[in-house]
Amino acid sequence: MSADPNCIFCKIVAGQIPARKVYEDEYILAFHDIAPWAPVHILLVPKLHIVSMAQLQPEHEALMGRMSVLVPRLMQELGVSNGFRTVINTGADGGQEVMHLHMHALGGPRPWSKG
């Protein structure tokens, strides 16, 4: 797998930075967000360093499908039973802060709701 030695998510994948892991296989690492926006807020990160969705290629189709199918299972295992939200920010204008593709999965009472 390719990695960027300066990328925080690549360092987490490599075990150089600790994370509260939820799931790991040969392609994906899922862990709790350090600044959660909801009672359950995890990140799913491909182990392959891909900067953002804008850099996805046809060979990444199975990886993205695997991430999407994994989310409901992980949220259920984490006790989320009334729905969840998934977000993938892409690029600076899309709100992406870490330039390594990642999917947010948020569950529980919605702090972003206005009432």
Catalytic residues, which ones?
Answer: 102
Rounded Cα distance between 68 and 103, Å, is 9
Q: Phi and psi of 69, rounded to 5°?
A: -75, -30
Rounded Cα distance between 62 and 32, Å, is 23
Rounded Cα distance between 23 and 70, Å, is 9
